[in-house]
Amino acid sequence: MTSRSNEAIPGHPIVLGCGQLCLDYLVTVPSFPVPDQKIRCTSFKIQGGGNTGNTLTCAARLGLAGRILAKVADDSQGRWMLEELESSGVDTSFCVTAKDGVSHFNYVIVDNQTNTRTCVFTPGYPPLLPNDLTESLILAVLDGVRALHVTGRSRETELLLAQKAHSKNVSILINAEKRREGLDKLLDLADYAICSTHFPQDWTGSPTSPSALLSMLTRLPKLKFVIMTLGDQGCVMLERCPNEVPESEEETDIDELHESLKQSTDFTSVLPVCNSSMVTRLKGNITGRLYIVTAEKIPSLELMDTTGAGDAFTGGLLYGLCTDMALEETLTFASRVAACCCRGLGARTTLPFRTDPNLAAFLGA
């Protein structure tokens, strides 16, 4: 467990996360084992995990006032996870503890040869359910919150909280990793969406990734932007720009716009760069701007584990949104935060604090 404490920057808004917490058992191996093979690990570590916990830890270390709503069992793993979150400045006082049950845990095998990781998730019980939340708890946990982060893993509870957040004009950011039952209702309420590489096409049925992003903005009128993450290739984002006037009244094909933007993007840059189009009129009566963001090129000797890089990116994005950072700067900042995470074993080890020298250009640290 980290010994470094973190204090929220005075006056910064609160970001709330709702979802699952789990404990990660991390092991690195020289190469992924084949069936019936016995191998020796090169390192082993136990630390808290789960998308929500990782994202809120990242946001808190960057200086936001992190707050989490989750459920753990009253076991040693559950208590350990809450203590670890508190040590990074995340408020866990609203978490629900089940007297009976088992906390979630996850085996993570990191392959040193390919720099990939394989996760084996074991769900705990009982889950976080709507009847765990009283009206007074919902009002208290949303008090002063600027943004709510959801993933759809505790869909009924997250939907209840998101509906109340929506009524209070709290911004909602959703991580859409794959199609889940009930996820559509959360997407309807979302202001911002971060999607896995395949989710936009899987959800919309569109023939290409750019057209899928456009289809998401068309089908989700509340959505201000949608991001598709591409791992070590960075990400692509489509922003809705309803109050800006496009250069031309003619509709632009989103796939042609994407191809043109790729041609003018510097993919050779070691540090992340953000390249954006002009505000454009797109099919479906959408006025928007397309962004391509490259990932940081991490030297092979420094690249250790990609576990949690997406959660780190989300944490950086939440920081930018909650502190009114310019959007292009927010995207390159989030990309740098994600790169920091890849330089250590596990999702929490190298999540940066705001004093990290790699972030000095953005935070003046």
Structure confidence by residue, pLDDT tens digits, 31-67: 999 999 999 999 999 999 889 999 999 999 999 999 9
Which pTM does this prediction carry? Answer: 0.91
Residue whose C-alpha is closest to residue 20's, from 83, 98, 103: 103
**Beta strands, E only, the chain:** 14-18, 22-29, 43-49, 65-69, 71-73, 90-91, 96-98, 104-111, 116-122, 145-150, 171-176, 192-195, 225-229, 235-240, 274-276, 280-282, 286-293
Give CA–CA dist 354/209, Å, rounded.
Answer: 34
Residue whose C-alpha is closest to residue 23's, from 65, 64, 68, 82: 82
Indicate the residue type of 263: Q
Tokens representing 290 are: 């397309």
Q: Is 48 within 8 Å of 84 (Cβ atoms)?
A: yes
- 3 falls in which pLDDT band (50, 70, 90)? very low
- 11 falls in which pLDDT band (50, 70, 90)? low
Res. 192: pLDDT tops 80: yes
Q: Kindly report the CA angle at 161 between 156 and 162, in degrees rounded to 5?
A: 95
Indicate the residue type of 344: G
* Range 158-177 average pLDDT: 97
Place of tokens 């990609």: 306
- Give pLDDT, residue 57: 96
Q: 3-state DSSP call for residue 91?
A: strand
- 4 falls in which pLDDT band (50, 70, 90)? very low
DSSP conformation class of 21? -
List of residues 6+ apart from 325 with CB closer than 8 A: 319, 333, 362
Give CA–CA dist 111/293, Å, rounded.
Answer: 27
Backbone angle region of 209, left / alpha / beta, with phi > 0 → left and psi within -120 to 50 → alpha:
alpha
Res. 279: pLDDT tops 60: yes
Backbone angle region of 231, left / alpha / beta, with phi > 0 → left and psi within -120 to 50 → alpha:
left
Backbone angle region of 234, left / alpha / beta, with phi > 0 → left and psi within -120 to 50 → alpha:
left
The bridge status of strand 22-29 relative to strand 104-111 is: parallel
- 365 falls in which pLDDT band (50, 70, 90)? low
Question: HSE on the CB side for 70, CA within 13 Å?
Answer: 36
Indicate the residue type of 137: L
- 10 falls in which pLDDT band (50, 70, 90)? low
- Give pLDDT, residue 2: 37
- Give pLDDT, residue 9: 57
Q: Kindly report the CA angle at 22 between 181 and 102, in degrees rounded to 5?
A: 90
- Give pLDDT, residue 5: 41
Give CA–CA dist 265/18, Å, rounded.
Answer: 36
Residue 340 burial (10 A CB sphere; 0-12, 13-18, 19+):
buried
